[in-house]
Structure 1
Amino acid sequence: MSVIDTPHLYDLAIIGGGAAGTLTAIGVLREAQRPLRVLILEPDLPLARGVAYATTYPEHLLNVPVAKMSGFAAQPEDFLDYLQDVQAFPALDRDTLAHRFVPRQHYADYLRLRLQQTAAASIAQLQVRAEHVRALQADAEGFTLALDSGAQLRARAVALAPGNALRPLPARGAGALPAGKRVEAWDYPAVRAISPAADVAIVGSGLSMVDTVMSLLASGHHGAIHVLSRHALLPLPHAAGPAADYDPQPLLAMNLRQRMRALRRHAAEASARGIPWQSVMERIRPLGQALWQSLSFDDQRRFLRHVVRYWDVHRHRVAAPVHAQLLTLAEQGRLQVHRGRLQAVVSEGACVQLLAHDIRRRPLQLDVHCVVNATGVEMRAQAMRNTLLQQLLGSGVARPGPHGIGIDSAPDGSLIDAHGTIETRLQVLGSLRIGRLWESLAIPELRGQAAHAATTLLQQLQP
C-alpha cells in the first residue's frame, strides 16, 4: 500500500477505511481478475480502526469472544488463527483463547495485516489517501469525488463506508462548555486524561459508557461517577450455558407485541430448564435483519419509541467480568445511575451543572467537574455532521433511509437516490443501512455486506 498525493482515475474508490471499508477492499483485491486500481480514502490513518477499534487501551474489550470475530464467513477461525500466529496471548491454549474477550486494539491490527497480505498477493493495485471526501457527483462514466484539499478524482465505482458518528450531547449549553469540561466518550485519550479526583457525569448508559468507566478505573479514578440516561439501563452480560433449541422462524410472522410476548415466554421456559436467557437471544441472532424487515412500518416506529433501549441491553452485551465490575462499583456507591432526561448544562466555576427531569418530571441536578458524552451512534444522516452525507442528501444523490435513519439502499446495498433510482455502481455499508436492516454494525453483518459489495462492484467493473 502507498499514500498518494495526486489525483488520478480509479476503478474503485472506497470512502472510509474502518472495518467495513477495509473488508470491502480485501474482498475486491482477493477476487480481482485484472489490474484494477483501488483507492481507500480515510482521513484518520492507520486503516481498519474506525471508531470501535481506534482505542489502544487494554481495558476496552471486544464484546464478543474471539471465536466469533473472524472477518470472513468462509474462514470462521481466522481471527483466532491471527492471534495465535502473532503470539498475542502465548500463555493461553487455543480453546481458552477462542472463548476470551480480548482488547479491541488487536482487531484493527488483524484487519490491517490481512489487507496488507491480500494486497501483496493481488493483481489489483491498492492505494490509500488520507483525506475527507466532501462531495460526490455521478455521471454516465462514473463519479467525481471532491476532496477537502480541493483536489478532485474520478472513480468508476464507489463503496460508501464512512463509519459511525457520535450523537451530540442532547442539552442546551453543551456547545458552550469549555475544553476539559465536556469530553466525547470516543475521544479515548481525553477520557484517560480526566483527573482521578474529578466527579464525572456520563450521559448515556450503553457501551460507550462502559468504555468510559473502564478507562476511568484504569487511570486510577476515585471521584464520583454519575450515569444519566432516560431509561437507566446498563448493558447486560454474556453468559455460558446450553444453547436454546426453540424454533425462531414463527417470530417472523408475528407483530411486535406478539414477538415480545413470545421471547419472554421462551426466556422463561429456558430458565426453567437451566438455560440462560442469553441463549434465547443467540437463537434469533441470525434473524436480526429479517425480524426488522418483516415488521410493519408502524411496528418499526413502535420499536424505536418503546422497545429499542430494552432490546439494546439484551442484544449488545458485555463480558461478564466487565459487568461484574460495574455492579461492584454501584454497590460501593462509586457509580450512581440516574434515570432522567437531560435538559441543560451550565459551566459554573470549576464545575459543570447538569439540569434534568426525572421520570416523574421532577427537577434533577448533578454538580460535577466534567461531563462525558456517551450517547452512542447517531442514526439520522442529516445529524451526522458529515459534509459528504449532507451534500449527497442535499443534491438528491441519496435520500434518507426509513424513519430518517441513515441513507436509503436496495436489498443488495446499492444506493437509492431521491427519485427512487437504484445506483448499483455505489454500494452502501455499515451504519448508513440501519434504517433498512437494523442489524448493520457488528462484524457478522459488516463482513457479509463487504463480501457482497466486493462481488457487486467487481461485476460493475467488468470491461
Structure 2
Amino acid sequence: MSVIDTPALCDLAIIGGGAAGVLAAIGVLRGASGPLRLLVIEPNLPLARGVAYATTREEHVLNVPAAKMSGFPEQAEDFLDYLCDVQAFPAVPREQLASQFVPRRHYADYLRLRLQQALDASPAQLEILAVRVQALQPNDDGVLLTLDSGGSVLAARVILAVGNALRPLPARGAGSLPDSLRVEAWDYPALGGIAGSADVAIIGSGLSMTDAVATLQANGHRGRIHVLSRHALLPLPHAKGAAADYDPEPLLAMNLRQRLHALRAHAAEAAVRDIPWQSVMERIRPLGQRLWQTLSPDDQRRFLRHVVRYWDVHRHRIAAPVHAQLLELQQSGRLQLHRGRLETAVAEGACVCLGAQDRQRRPLQLEVQCVVNATGVEMRAQAMRNPLLQQLLGSGVGRPGPHGIGLDTAADGSLIDAEGRVESRIQVLGSLRIGSLWESLAIPELRGQAAAAAKQVLLPPPLREA
C-alpha cells in the first residue's frame, strides 16, 4: 500500500478508513477479477483505527467475545484465528480465548493484516489518500470528490463510510470551556492525561462512560467521579447461561407495546428455568433490522422518545468484569450516578461549574476539575459537524434518513437524493444507515454491509483513463 498525492481517476473511492471502509476494501480486493484502481480516503492514519478501535489502552476491551468478532460473514471465527496465528495471547488456550473480551487495539491490527493479505493476492491496486473529502457531486462521468487539499478525484463508484461522530456537550457555555477542563471521551490520549486527584464529571452513562471510568481506574485515579445522564442507566453485563429457545418471529407482526410485553414475558419464563434475560435478547439479535423496519413510523418515534435508552442498556452490553468495576466504585462512593439534564457549563478558575435539573426540575450543581463528554453517537447527519455531510444535504445530493437520522438509503445501501432518486453509484455503510436499519453500528452489520457493497461496486466495468 502506498500513500499518494491526489489522483485524477479511480474505479472506486472509499471515503473513510475505519472498520467499515477497510472491510469494504478487503471485499473489493478479494472479489476483483482484473486490474482496477481502488482509493481509500482517510485523514487519520493508520487505517482501521476509527472511533471504536483507535484506542491502544489495555483496559478498553471489546463488548463481544473474540469468537463473535470475525470481519467476514463466511469465516465465523476469523478474528479468533488471527489472535491464535499471531500468538496475541500465547498462554491462553483457543477454547478459553474464544469467550474472552480482548483489548480493542487488536481489532485494528487484525483488519490491517487482512487488508494487506487481500492486496497481496489481488489484481487490483490500492492507494491511500490522507486528506478529507469536502464535497461530492455525481455527474455524467462519475462522482467528483473535492478534497480539502485543493485537489479532486473522479471516481466511477463511491462507498461512503465516514464512521461515527460524537454528540456535542449539551450545555450552554460548553463551547467556551478550555481544553484543560474538557475532554472528549473518544480522545483517548486526553482521557489518559486526566490528573489522578481531579474530581471528574462524565456526561452520559453509556459505553463511552465505561471507557472513561476504566481509564481513570487504570491510571490510579483518586478523585470523585460524577456520572450525569437523563436516565442514569448504566450498561448491563453479559451473562453465561443456557440459550433461550423461544421463536422470535411472531414479534415481527406485533406493535411496539406488544413486543415489549412479549419480551418481558419471555424473560420471566426464562428466569423460571434459570436462563438469564441476556439469552432472551440474544435470540432476537439476528432480527434487529427487521424488528425496526416492521415497526410503524409512529411506533419508531415512540421507541426513540421513550424506549431507546432502555433498549441500549439491554442490547449493548459490557463484559462482566467491567460492569463489576462500575458497581464497586458506586458502592465505595467514589462513583456517584446523577439523573438529570445538563443545562450549563461555566469555567471558574481551575474548575467547571455544571448546572443541571433533575426529573422534578430541582437544581443540581456540580463543581469538578474536568468534564468528559461521553454523550455517545450523533445520529443526525446534519449535526455531525462534517463538511461533506453538510454539503450532501445542502446540495440535495442526499437527504436525511427516517426521523432525521443518518442519510436516506435504498434497501441495497444506495444513496437517495432530495428528490427521492436512487444514486446507485454511491453506497452508504455503517452509522449513516441507522435511520433506515437501526442496527447498523456493530461488526455483524458492518461486515454484511461491506460484503454487499463490495459485490455491488464490482458490477460495472472499471473507469478507464482517456
Cα distance in 2 between the residues matched to 1:320 and 1:240:
10
1:415 is aligned to 415
3-state SS of paired residue (1:439):
coil
1:214 is aligned to 214
Correspondence 1:312 to 2:312: yes
The equivalences for 1:11-410 within 5 A come to 11-410=11-410
Cα distance in 2 between the residues matched to 1:150 and 1:365:
47
**Amino acid aligned to 1:112:** R
Deviates more, 1:382-391 or 1:344-353: 344-353
Structure 1 consecutive aligned stretches of length 4 or more whose deviation exceeds 4 Å: none
3-state SS of paired residue (1:459):
coil
**Amino acid aligned to 2:69:** M
C-alpha contact 1:425 1:460 (8 A) present in aligned 2: no
**Structure 1, residues 210-248: CA drift from partner, whole Å, max 9, x if none?**
000000011110000000000000000000000000000
Please report the TM-score for the alignment, with normalisation by the length of structure 2: 0.99
**Structure 1, residues 41-81: CA drift from partner, whole Å, max 9, x if none?**
00000001100000000000000000000000100010001
**Structure 1, residues 148-189: CA drift from partner, whole Å, max 9, x if none?**
010011100000000000000000000010111110000011
Aligned length: 463
1:446 is aligned to 446
Cα distance in 2 between the residues matched to 1:240 and 1:424:
43
C-alpha contact 2:11 2:462 (8 A) present in aligned 1: no
Cα distance in 1 between the residues matched to 2:217 and 2:132:
35
C-alpha contact 2:156 2:462 (8 A) present in aligned 1: no
Cα distance in 1 between the residues matched to 2:168 and 2:179:
15
Cα distance in 2 between the residues matched to 1:15 and 1:430:
12
C-alpha contact 2:18 2:50 (8 A) present in aligned 1: yes
3-state SS of paired residue (2:91):
coil
Cα distance in 1 between the residues matched to 2:277 and 2:298:
28
Gaps of 5+ in 1: none
C-alpha contact 1:50 1:163 (8 A) present in aligned 2: yes
Cα distance in 2 between the residues matched to 1:30 and 1:146:
28
3-state SS of paired residue (1:280):
helix
**Amino acid aligned to 1:48:** A
C-alpha contact 2:20 2:429 (8 A) present in aligned 1: yes
3-state SS of paired residue (1:337):
strand
Sort the Cα spacing of 1:42 and 1:462 in 2 relative to 1 into closer, same or farther, 3 A: closer
Cα distance in 2 between the residues matched to 1:30 and 1:192:
38
Cα distance in 2 between the residues matched to 1:315 and 1:460:
39
TM superposition shift of 1:5: 1.0
Cα distance in 2 between the residues matched to 1:340 and 1:138:
45
**Amino acid aligned to 1:181:** L
C-alpha contact 2:415 2:427 (8 A) present in aligned 1: yes
Cα distance in 2 between the residues matched to 1:267 and 1:141:
55
Cα distance in 1 between the residues matched to 2:257 and 2:49:
38
C-alpha contact 2:6 2:129 (8 A) present in aligned 1: no
Cα distance in 2 between the residues matched to 1:38 and 1:240:
43
3-state SS of paired residue (1:312):
helix
C-alpha contact 2:12 2:39 (8 A) present in aligned 1: yes
3-state SS of paired residue (1:460):
coil
**Amino acid aligned to 1:188:** Y
3-state SS of paired residue (2:458):
helix
**Amino acid aligned to 1:24:** A
**Amino acid aligned to 1:216:** L
Cα distance in 1 between the residues matched to 2:462 and 2:249:
39
TM superposition shift of 1:350: 1.3
**Amino acid aligned to 1:140:** D
Cα distance in 2 between the residues matched to 1:206 and 1:180:
23
TM superposition shift of 1:7: 2.1
Cα distance in 1 between the residues matched to 2:462 and 2:134:
28
**Amino acid aligned to 1:251:** L
Cα distance in 2 between the residues matched to 1:395 and 1:462:
27
Cα distance in 1 between the residues matched to 2:381 and 2:160:
13
3-state SS of paired residue (2:3):
coil
Gaps of 5+ in 2: none
Cα distance in 2 between the residues matched to 1:46 and 1:6:
18
C-alpha contact 2:15 2:133 (8 A) present in aligned 1: yes
Cα distance in 2 between the residues matched to 1:261 and 1:50:
37
Cα distance in 2 between the residues matched to 1:191 and 1:118:
35
TM superposition shift of 1:460: 3.0
Cα distance in 1 between the residues matched to 2:324 and 2:110:
28
Correspondence 1:431 to 2:434: no
Cα distance in 1 between the residues matched to 2:461 and 2:297:
36
3-state SS of paired residue (1:54):
coil
C-alpha contact 1:157 1:461 (8 A) present in aligned 2: no
**What percent of counterpart residues are identical?**
74
C-alpha contact 1:18 1:47 (8 A) present in aligned 2: yes
TM superposition shift of 1:6: 3.2
3-state SS of paired residue (1:382):
helix
TM superposition shift of 1:461: 3.6
Please report the TM-score for the alignment, with normalisation by the length of structure 1: 0.99
Cα distance in 1 between the residues matched to 2:141 and 2:292:
36
TM superposition shift of 1:462: 5.9
